Amino acid sequence: MSKSIKHHLTDDLLMAYAAGSLPEAFDLMVATHLSLCDHCRARAGSYDAVGGHVLEEQAESIAMSDTSLAATMALIAKGAPAAKPVRPNCPVLPVPLQDYVGGTVSDIRWRPVGMGVKQAILPTTKDATARLLLIPAGAAVPDHGHHGMELTMVLQGAFSDEVDHFARGDVEIADEDLEHTPLADISEDCICLAVTDAPLKFNKLMPRLFQPFLRI
């Protein structure tokens, strides 16, 4: 899978992920991409190592209490924690997303947003929004710009826009300078994970009217 991924995360995103400074929605995007991309996972690992070294150099030693050993042994005596339930195999949703959806694609609660496109907003903190998008084969998302940053990762199928062609695992990074009209490939419905830190900027009236209700 990793060899077929052409569009990766930026160093800034990976460093912020390692530092724990991203909103939850963007954390989810990075974790989902890393689960498929060996290249970005290796880069993220290097930033984790640098951060660990910095903490080790700057952290002050803290004395352990006299009861620390006894408390640790008591936890061990309680036995191993309960095993997590086995997840069903899902070729579309990587593990980080399955935890948010609560299962597989069949468990996603899609809501129509117009022109055949559907979405499912995922439960994250309010500083950014994460949603799954289903774009029917051959259909397009209304042309729009951005008031902030939008990351879109393909999970199934593919789409094209004014920038390039994006397939499974690819992430498109859009900002205020990009206006585009994503068009799903004709061969298969396209499912994407999209995260935003600000509302989209639609060019046509109808999408703008429904925008507050759809939380786009």
153-173: pLDDT as tens digits: 999 999 999 999 999 999 999
Average pLDDT over residues 5-23: 95
Q: How confident is the model at residue 53 (pLDDT cuts 50, 70, 90)?
A: very low
Does 55 have pLDDT greater than 50? no
Domain spanning 1-84+92-216: CATH 3.30.70.20:
no
Burial label for 186, CB within 10 Å (0-12, 13-18, 19+), is: exposed
Q: Tokens 């290249």 label which residue?
A: 39
Nearest-angstrom CA–CA distance, 9 and 151: 9
If pLDDT is split at 50, 70 and 90, which confidence band does 6 have?
very high
Partner residues linked to 130 by β-bridges:
195
Which range of 1-10, 43-52, 168-177 scores highest in mean pLDDT? It is 168-177
Q: Is 188 helix (H, G, I), strand (E, B) or coil?
A: coil
Dist. CA 196–CA 130, nearest whole Å: 7
Distances (CA, A) of 191 to 3, 54, 74, 166: 20, 39, 47, 12
Integer Cα distance of 158 and 137 in angstroms: 9
Give the domain ranges of the chain.
1-84+92-216
Cα dihedral across residues 118, 36, 177, 140: positive or negative: negative
Residue range 114-124, pLDDT digits in tens: 889 999 999 99
Q: Please write the tens of the pLDDT for every residue from 65-123.
A: 777 777 777 777 777 666 666 677 889 999 999 989 989 999 999 999 888 999 999 99
Specify the pLDDT at position 75: 72
Overall average pLDDT of the 1-28 stretch: 92
